[in-house]
Amino acid sequence: MRAIVLGAVVLGLVAAGFPKSESITLPGSSIMFKPGPNLGLVQANCLVCHNADYIYFQPALTRAQWTAEVNKMRAAYKATIADDDVPKIVDYLMSQNGKT
Amino acid sequence: MRLGRREFLVASAATGAALATARPLSAADTWVELPMQNGKRPLVKYPHKRAMIVQSSRPPILETPFEAFDEGDLTPNDAFYVRWHEAGFPTSVDATSFRLNVHGVVKKPLSLSISDLQTQFESAEIVAVNQCSGNSRGLFSPRVAGGEWANGGMGNARWKGVRLVDILKQAGVDAGAKQVSLHGLDHGVLPATPRFQKAFDVEVVTANPDMLVAYEMNGEPLPLLNGFPVRLVVPGWYATYWVKMLSDIEVIDHVDDNFWMATAYRIPDTPNNSVRPDQTGYKTIPINKMHVRSFVTNIQNGNFISGLEKADPMYPYRYGAEVRGIAFDAGSGIKMVEFSDDGGKSWRETKLGRDLGKYSFRRWSTRWTTRAGSGTHTLACRATANSGEVQTNVAVWNPAGYLKNNIETYEVTV
C-alpha cells in the first residue's frame, strides 16, 4: 500500500504521457586533429571543451584571427592555456586551417 | 572541483581517447557540401533526430537539412536544429525530480515541478520561429569565425506551455526589480566557464504574454537536444534567449552583466547594425528581435527537389514549376512575398499559405513557366512584413555574423 502511494506521488510530478526521464548518448566525431606542430598541446587544451571538427569547419583564418580565437577561449571561457602556449597552438591552427 | 594543470592533461587525454574510439570510420559518414569555403560537413543521425548536418559534434551544433523546410509549415522535431554552447550540458534529465526555481526579488519563491507547471497554470500555445542569431553566418562575406551555418539554423514549431508572466505573477515581483535572469541545467566543462544565462528587463516580460515556458513542441515533449523538459519560448526574438532545460528564474534588482549578455550576442548600435570589417570604437547592444526573411524551399543546388511539372507533350518546350517557400519576421506577420525570375529586376506577388499566427513561418507559392533550354535563370524572393520592413539586397555585416536577412537568390538552369 505504501509503495502504491509513493508510486502515485512520484507519478504525480509529471502528467500522464510525459516522460519521467530522457537520456541520450551522443555520437562522437570521425574527425580527429591531424598531425601538425604541437599536436599534443592542442589535444590537451582544445579537446577539453570542444572537438576537432569545429576547427576544421571554420573558414581559413589569419594568424591574427586564430590568435584572437585562442585568447577568447582563455579570457571568456577560462581555458587554462599558458601564455607561452598561445603562439604554439596558433602555429598548429595555422598549419591546419590558416589563411596567409 | 578545480582541476590543476596536470589533472587537466590527464582528463583531456582521456576525453580524446574516448572520442577517438567513438566513431572511427569516416568512410561511414555521408557528407554534404554547404555553399561556403570549408563547407564539407558530415550528416550524422542523432538521438531523436534524423541525419543532421554537423557543425560541431561536441557541444552539438546540428543544422537542419534545408529540404525539411519544404515538408510543411512546422519543422518536424526530428529535423529541428540544435545548438548547445557548453559541452557540460546533461545528456540525462530526470523529469520527476526536475524543478524550475523562481527566486530573487520576489514575494514568494517557487519551486515548480513539471506537474505544477501543467496543473497550476493556464496553458498557452503559440506557433513561433526559433532562429539562431548566427543563422547563415557561413554565408557572410568576408567570413567570420563561429558556427558556420548555411540557412538551416532555424525552425518553426507549435509550442505549448505556461506564460512566463503568469509564473512571475504567482511569485510576485517586488518593487525594485529590474531584470529577469534565466538559466538552464547546462554548464561548461570547466567550473570557471561562465554559465549560459540570459536576461530581460522586467517590463519586457510583463508586456509580452507570448513568452512561454514550454513543455511541448509540436504536440510532443521536447527532444532532449532541444531542451527537455522545458525551455523558454520568446516569439520574435533570436534563439539565444530561448533558454533550454530552463531551471532557474531569478528576478534581480540590477542589470545582468554576465558574459552572455555583456560580451557575447551583441550587435553594433549602428544603422542596420552593420559595420565595416575594419571599423572599431562603435557602441554595441544585446541582440534582440529578428528581421524579416524569406526562402525558396523546393530548390536545392540549382535543382527543383519537387514541384517540377512534366512537360506538356503538346508543348514540350514549355517548362513549368511551382516555386514555393517560407517567410517570417519578428511578429508583425508577413504582408507579402514577391517572386522574381530575372534576378530582382521585376517582381510579382505570390500566393500566401495558411496563417498559423504572426510569429510562424508563412508559406508562399507561385507558378513559374519558361522555355526548356532557355538557360540559367536567377530566381529570387522578397518578403514584406506588416511592420513595413522589407528585405533588400544589402547584406548586413558585423564581426559576430548575426542578423543576415538579405534577399535570397537561386540559380536554376533549364
Question: Could you tell me if A43 lies within 8 Å of chain B, comparing CB atoms?
Answer: yes
Question: Could you tell me if B91 lies within 8 Å of chain A, comparing CB atoms?
Answer: yes
- pLDDT at B414 (0 to 100): 84
- pLDDT at A12 (0 to 100): 53
Provide mean pLDDT across the span B324-346: 98
CB-CB neighbors (< 8 A) of B134 in chain A: none
- Residue-wise pLDDT for B28-64, tens only, equals 579 999 999 999 999 999 999 999 999 999 999 999 9
Provide mean pLDDT across the span A69-84: 98
Supply the pTM of this predicted model: 0.92
ipTM score for this prediction: 0.90
Ranking A8-17, B192-201, B342-351, B371-380 by mean pLDDT, the lowest is A8-17
Q: What percent of chain A has pLDDT over 70?
A: 85
Q: Please report, as a single letter, which amino acid is at residue B252.
A: I
Question: Could you tell me if B190 lies within 8 Å of chain A, comparing CB atoms?
Answer: yes
Q: How far, in Å, CA of A26 to CA of B57, rounded?
A: 8
Provide mean pLDDT across the span B306-320: 78
- Residue-wise pLDDT for B181-222, tens only, equals 999 999 999 999 999 999 999 999 999 999 999 999 999 999
Q: Please, which pLDDT band fits residue A78 given cuts at 50, 70 and 90?
A: very high
Q: Please, which pLDDT band fits residue A8 given cuts at 50, 70 and 90?
A: very low
Is the pLDDT at B9 greater than 50, yes or no? no
- pLDDT at B337 (0 to 100): 99
Ranking A48-62, B78-92, B301-315, B388-402 by mean pLDDT, the lowest is B301-315
Question: Could you tell me if A61 lies within 8 Å of chain B, comparing CB atoms?
Answer: yes
Is the pLDDT at A23 greater than 80, yes or no? yes
Q: Which three three-digit cell numbers place residue A46?
A: 582544445
Provide mean pLDDT across the span B266-280: 97
CA dihedral B337, B341, B346, B347 (to 10 degrees): -10
Q: Which of B6, B8, B16 is nearest to B192 (CA)?
A: B8
Q: Which of B16, B114, B192 sits opposite A14 (nearest CB)?
A: B114
- pLDDT at A13 (0 to 100): 66
Domains of chain A, CATH where assigned: 29-97 (1.10.760.10)
Q: How far, in Å, CA of B229 to CA of B376, rounded?
A: 48
Domains of chain B, CATH where assigned: 22-82 (no CATH), 100-286 (3.90.420.10), 293-413 (2.60.40.650)
- pLDDT at B100 (0 to 100): 98
- Residue-wise pLDDT for B59-72, tens only, equals 999 999 999 999 99
Q: How far, in Å, CA of B245 to CA of A85, rounded?
A: 36
Q: B188 and A49 in contact by Cβ < 8 A?
A: yes
Q: What percent of chain B has pLDDT over 70?
A: 93
Ranking A13-22, B36-45, B317-326 by mean pLDDT, the lowest is A13-22
Q: What is the mean pLDDT of chain A?
A: 90
Ranking B174-178, B249-253, B290-294, B315-319 by mean pLDDT, the lowest is B315-319
Q: Which of A15, A49, A97 sits opposite B87 (nearest CB)?
A: A49
Inter-chain CB pairs, A–B, below 8 Å: 173
User: Could you tell me the end-to-end alpha-carbon distance of chain A, in angstroms, rounded to an integer?
Assistant: 74
Question: Could you tell me if A54 lies within 8 Å of chain B, comparing CB atoms?
Answer: yes
Q: B22 and A44 in contact by Cβ < 8 A?
A: no
Q: Which of B310, B244, B314, B317 is nearest to B86 (CA)?
A: B244
- pLDDT at B336 (0 to 100): 98
Q: What is the mean pLDDT of chain B?
A: 92
Could you tell me the CA-to-CA distances from B188 to A70, B93, B250 in Å, in that order? 17, 17, 20
Is the pLDDT at B11 greater than 70, yes or no? no
